[in-house]
Amino acid sequence: MNSYIDETTKEQFTEDTTIREAINSIYDMLAELPKEKRLAFFEQISKPKDLDFVKEIDGIYYVACAHFDREQKEDMITKVNRVLGAEV
């Protein structure tokens, strides 16, 4: 295991090499896939929940996860579009 200092919190943390190896393995697998299969992989593992949604802006996909108060007058999609400055 490797020990590091978190630059934000200035706290020391230890990286678990098992997790790092698993992440590297996933990166390697994805690097070998063509673009279409990588996109299909991410689509498969990142299905939004009922209140979550995906928004594409300039070729970048954003997933917004719901944690808003259901009693508010503005719905989540309207709020996120307003915050992002996107037109509906």
Instruction: Tell me the per-residue pLDDT of 49-83, one tens digit each, with 9 for 90 and over.
Output: 565 678 888 888 888 776 656 677 887 678 778 88
pLDDT of residue 29: 92
Indicate whether 12 and 28 sit together in one domain. yes
Task: Report yes or no: 54 and 63 within 8 Å, Cβ to Cβ.
Answer: yes
Q: Encoding tokens for residue 37? A: 């299969």
Higher-scoring residue by pLDDT: 8, 1 = 8
d(CA 56, CA 84): 11
The count of structural domains within the chain is 2
Beta-carbon count within 10 A of 77 CB:
14
pLDDT of residue 34: 93
Q: How big is the chain, counted in residues?
A: 88
pLDDT of residue 78: 81
**Residue numbers of the domain that contains 73:** 47-88
Indicate whether 4 and 33 sit together in one domain. yes
Higher-scoring residue by pLDDT: 44, 76 = 44
Q: What is the DSSP string of 3-44?
A: EEE-TTT--EEEE-HHHHHHHHHHHHHHHHS-HHHHHHHHHH
pTM over 0.75: no
Indicate whether 40 and 56 sit together in one domain. no
